Amino acid sequence: MYFLFEVMDNLLTTFITFEKDRLFFEIVVTKTLQRKESGGQNDSIPKVYSYPISVV
């Protein structure tokens, strides 16, 4: 299962898996204020936003 949360200017992507009697969490976090913009030069090239990530 994937979940996406925005909390206090941070995006958290969470991947949860179940294996027998175990539960695994993988969390990737990025600060929304540090986004970089590329593209968008004209109507045929959309803007693209990228974010630096870190793993918790």
Q: What's the pLDDT tens digit per position in 3-41?
A: 999 999 999 999 999 999 999 999 989 999 999 999 998
Number of domains in the chain: 1
DSSP-H helix ranges across 1-56: none
Q: State whether the Cα torsion 48-30-52-34 is positive or negative.
A: positive
Distance of CA 44 to the CA centre of its chain: 25
**Helix, strand, or coil here: 26?**
strand
pLDDT at 16: 95
pLDDT confidence of 56, banded at 50, 70, 90? low
pLDDT confidence of 53, banded at 50, 70, 90? confident
What's the mean pLDDT in 43-48?
92
Range of the domain at 13: 2-55
